[in-house]
């Protein structure tokens, strides 16, 4: 194996975190901001890109590797956590919002997973975190995630996070699955992905489900989430009291509060 072999345990139900067990000199790479806690003897280091070393010879190579992450909306930097001690140590990473952490053994998934650009949480050192360009123009303009999705390559463990309940679908050759574009979490390398327009003017305009959905064709595995973060955020924003005469819950109390404060 080219990647570090790490053990792990996932804790919790709706707000999960993953506890990674590191042998001496083993390393795990994580997104900035996902760190939760760690034992003594764990050394942190901020690096450009994913630290896999693939295609990063020289300064320009490292800058190019890190620059690709900007295209996915992620930070230029990632953080490595290395066990510098002589015994097993643990480091934990937390979910950014309610959902599930999906452990993925890339050695059993064809060595590559394509996922949403904000789904990656952490991985064993050696896993390459790159970008996946969608060739079809419809996917780029209407796919919700644009031309660019993340790809995770290697033969080690990777951890992906998604919202709500997660279901895994196994597609046979030629089998088709249509999903909301925001509900697609990840897929294996052989699954083809396209965007399809919702048929029927009434359905498209008044159905409340958007104008497009993703069409996935097998063979391969697909992971679907029940609660995309964008959907959760829009519901929270819609329910929150707003200034300026909102009639939802809390608006009257907020108006009285503003009156006594001179607003």
Is residue 2 domain-resident?
no
Residues 6+ apart with CB under 8 A from 238: none
Q: Domain range for residue 120?
A: 7-237
Is 110 contained in some domain? yes
- pLDDT tens series, the chain, 263 aa: 567 889 999 999 888 999 999 999 999 999 888 999 999 999 999 887 666 665 455 556 555 555 555 555 556 788 999 999 999 999 999 988 889 999 999 999 999 999 987 889 999 999 988 888 665 545 444 444 445 688 999 999 999 999 989 999 999 999 999 998 889 999 999 999 887 776 654 544 444 445 677 889 999 999 999 988 777 777 777 887 765 544 444 555 555 445 555 55
With the CA atoms of 89, 105, 9 and 22 taken in that order, what torsion angle do they form, in degrees rounded to the nearest 10?
A: 0
**Is 91 domain-assigned?**
yes
178 in a structural domain:
yes
Residue 246 is assigned to a structural domain of this protein? no
- CATH code, domain with 163: 3.60.160.10
Contact yes or no for 228/116 (Cβ under 8 A): no
Q: Specify the number of domains making up the chain.
A: 1
Any domain includes 258? no
Kindly state whether residue 181 falls inside one of the protein's structural domains: yes
* Residue with token string 């510098």: 84
Model-level pTM?
0.78
Four-residue CA torsion sign, 143, 177, 122, 129: negative
Q: Is the residue at 217 inside a domain?
A: yes
112-115 vs 77-83, strand pairing mode: unpaired
127, 46, 129: which is closest to 81 by C-alpha? 46
């Amino acid at each position: 194996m080219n990647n570090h072999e790490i053990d792990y345990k996932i804790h919790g139900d709706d707000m999960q975190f993953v506890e990674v067990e590191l042998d001496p000199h083993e390393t795990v790479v994580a997104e900035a901001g996902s760190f939760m806690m760690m034992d003594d003897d764990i050394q942190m280091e901020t690096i450009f890109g994913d630290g896999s070393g693939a295609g990063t010879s020289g300064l320009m190579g490292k800058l190019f590797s890190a620059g690709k992450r900007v295209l996915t909306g992620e930070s230029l930097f990632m953080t490595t956590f290395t066990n510098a001690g002589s015994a097993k140590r643990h480091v934990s990473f937390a979910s950014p919002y309610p959902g599930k952490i999906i452990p993925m053994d890339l050695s059993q998934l064809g060595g590559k997973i394509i996922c949403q650009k904000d789904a990656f949480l952490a991985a064993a050192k050696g896993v390459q975190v790159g970008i996946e360009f969608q060739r079809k123009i419809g996917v780029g303009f209407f796919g919700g995630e644009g031309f660019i999705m993340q790809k995770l390559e290697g033969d080690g463990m990777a951890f992906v996070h998604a919202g709500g309940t997660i279901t895994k679908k196994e597609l046979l050759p030629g089998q088709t699955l249509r999903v909301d574009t925001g509900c697609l979490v990840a897929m294996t390398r052989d699954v083809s992905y396209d965007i399809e327009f919702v048929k029927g003017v009434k359905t498209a305009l008044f159905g409340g489900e958007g104008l497009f959905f993703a069409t996935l064709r097998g063979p391969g595995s697909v992971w679907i989430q029940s609660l995309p973060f964008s959907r959760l955020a829009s519901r929270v924003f819609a329910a929150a009291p707003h200034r300026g005469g909102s009639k939802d819950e809390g608006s009257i109390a907020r108006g009285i509060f503003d009156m006594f404060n001179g607003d």
